[in-house]
Chains A and B, each alone.
Chain A
Amino acid sequence: MTDKIESIVGSIKAGFSAGEYKFRGEISLLVKPEQIVEVCQVLKDEHNFQQLTEQTAVDYWPEQKPRFHIVYKLRSLDDNLIIGLRVPLNGNAPTLPTIEGVFKNANWFERELWGMFGIHIEGHSDLRRIVTPYDWEGHPLRKDYPLGYEEVQYSFNFDEIDLRKPYAKE
């Protein structure tokens, strides 16, 4: 099992000049954003990774290069393998090509990336916020987005606070 994943990692590293990250027996490949669609396609077609298991992001603010890492996990059910992909993205308003054409369930994962991290997904068929309301401002899972600090509205001061409240208006 480990030989097989090593050979897959080796071929992707050679083909796409990708980096490698190993921790606790998990292997991840560091892939450039412009290559991600092709890497996914190769992994799916040639190495039998049938499912996109996980797609999420990590924000390394205040660092800018890279600010985000997009984390993918692809699973091969036949060979019982799992491989990670990490895509570094620079800057505060990054863009990432969609892998919806390869794995269909990337649709909602990528909508979540847009809503929660503000990562613009290029070529996405339906780029709306998914778990936050459609008129929500800001991207809550970014590290520079405050947790809390919202004034509590009671019945006696509801209207007063409502006037100056920045988010979550009806």
Chain B
Amino acid sequence: MEENTRLTLSEASMEDIKHLVSDRAIQGETVLLNMGPQHPSTHGVLRLLLELDGEEVVNCVPDVGFLHTGIEKNMEAKTYMKALTMTDRLDYLNNLGNNLTYSIAIEKLTGLDVPPRAQAIRVILAEFQRIASHLIFLATTGLDVNATSVWMYCFRERELILDIFEMCSGQRMMTSFIRPGGIWRDVPVEFEDAVRSFIKIFPSRIDEYEALLTNNPIFIDRTVDIGVLTPEDALNWGVTGPMLRASGVDYDLRKTNPYMGYEQYDFEVPTRSEGDTFARYIVRMDEMRQATRIIEQALDKLPYGPVRSNNRKYVPPPRSELGTSMEALIHHFKLWTEGFSPPKGSVYAATESPRGELGVYLESDGGPKPYRVHFRTPSFTNLQVLPLLSRGHLVADIVMLIGTVDIVLGDVDR
């Protein structure tokens, strides 16, 4: 009886999970341990079923879905524009990136143009979001190895970025700023100064973080040769983003399939060949440096002009026109009540999010609501390799591995 309760945990029954654990667990030689979902080191609500031999991990079974909010189902009941606000809530560290991907999918579906100024602002904001997301990665991963001061420094810089978002959109996180056909409105005049002062201080701040961690013997002990992912495994498991690049595969959607004018900017794609926890950390540090470079170039080249497409069938007219133009009033009314109806068909649009390839599969039946939206989220696919990475390592390393796989549970569960 006692053995039975120990094995079943909170899972449906032993019968259901028998194929997930080894025979040794059934004979009682290894211990099954439940980790999460309310565990601070799982970076959200991830539950792991660990099979342990002493302190060594024999197997680990991720159990996700605790943050499932039915966003895809809800989006089917809303107009394209209203559904945009739900994309913010998917990957809550990449809000603008989610807006961007969803907007690109709609633009592809409807053939909508985006003015150059809007494209450049989108790039700046998306790269800021990448830095902010990597700062959270660094902060929480540092915290996982008890480097508490890194956490404080990272959040200090992240605040500056969130202040810039607030300046543009009025919101720190759930901005819904990037919209189909452009952005909500032009950036304020203080934007340029704020961005310039950030990119001026930030490279030296990255050096400061690196001084705290990169050559720190404790950090190296905990990261080097832990959780090695070979390039073959990475490809076969569909791993994308910094994890794939840390395994030596040079693939970045911003380079290979440029969107929003990324081809104009000069930047490098950092790669490492080791594929271990340390390589994933270094790749993300380098990505922050490259993101700063992209922001600087985009700001230097920032063209003047409109920030929203002039296609009134999809993009609402500016407020100033409503008082003088009957047509503008009609478009305004139609767009904010019925919404727009893209042609029938399906598209797949993908961008490079801080975690990897964020894809949107969007299908339209010709009506004003999306018939089907599916988010191919990088965390969902990347988390699948966690069992592979963790086998043979210690329980304490699991925490570091979750950190460098860099999952966001809102992104996994959708």
Contacts and interface: CB of A to CB of B under 8 A. Distances in A.
| A is bound by B | yes
Interface of A: 23-24, 26, 50-54, 56, 58-59, 71, 73, 77, 80, 82, 84, 103-105, 107-108, 125-126, 128-135, 140-141, 145, 147
Contacts of B372: 56, 58-59
A67 B380 CA distance: 26
Contact of A77 (B249, B346, B348): B249
A53 B238 CA distance: 6
Contacts of B108: 24
Given A51-B238, A126-B19, A132-B68, 13 more contacts: A26-B347, A53-B359, A54-B359, A58-B346, A59-B372, A77-B256, A84-B348, A108-B381, A130-B64, A130-B65, A132-B65, A140-B70, A140-B73
Interface of B: 11-12, 16, 19-20, 64-65, 68, 70, 72-74, 76-77, 108-109, 111, 235-240, 249, 251, 256-257, 345-348, 350, 357, 359, 361, 363, 371-372, 374, 376, 380-381, 384, 413-414
B77 to A, nearest CB: 5
A94 to B, nearest CB: 17
A105 B12 contact: no
A24 B345 contact: yes
B357 A134 contact: no
B19 A125 contact: yes
B174 to A, nearest CB: 22
14 contacts: A23-B347, A52-B238, A53-B357, A56-B374, A84-B348, A103-B238, A105-B237, A105-B239, A108-B384, A128-B16, A129-B65, A131-B68, A133-B65, A134-B12
A26 B381 CA distance: 23
Contacts of B374: 54, 56, 71
A99 B72 CA distance: 24
B238 A105 contact: yes
B105 to A, nearest CB: 10
Contacts of B359: 53-54, 73
Candidate in B72, B347, B359, B372 with the most chain A CB atoms within 10 angstroms: B372
A50 to B, nearest CB: 5
Contacts of A51: 235, 238, 240
Contacts of A129: 65
A136 B146 CA distance: 39
A17 to B, nearest CB: 22
B34 to A, nearest CB: 15
A52 B381 CA distance: 10
Contacts of A147: 73-74, 76-77
A39 B414 CA distance: 30
A73 B345 CA distance: 16
A131 B363 contact: no
A104 B73 contact: no
Contacts of A82: 348
Contacts of B381: 105, 108
Given A23-B346, A126-B19, A104 B236 contact: yes
Contacts of A23: 345-347
Nearest to A22: B345
Contacts of A133: 65
Contacts of A107: 384
Contacts of B20: 126
Nearest to B62: A108
Closest 5 CB pairs of A and B: A105-B238, A131-B65, A56-B374, A23-B345, A131-B68
Nearest to B236: A104
Contacts of A58: 346, 363, 371-372
Contacts of B235: 50-51, 77
Nearest to B412: A131
Contact of B109 (A24, A77, A80): A24
A22 to B, nearest CB: 10
Contact of B237 (A53, A104, A145): A104
B73 to A, nearest CB: 6
A54 B65 contact: no
B230 to A, nearest CB: 13
A69 to B, nearest CB: 9
Nearest to A105: B238
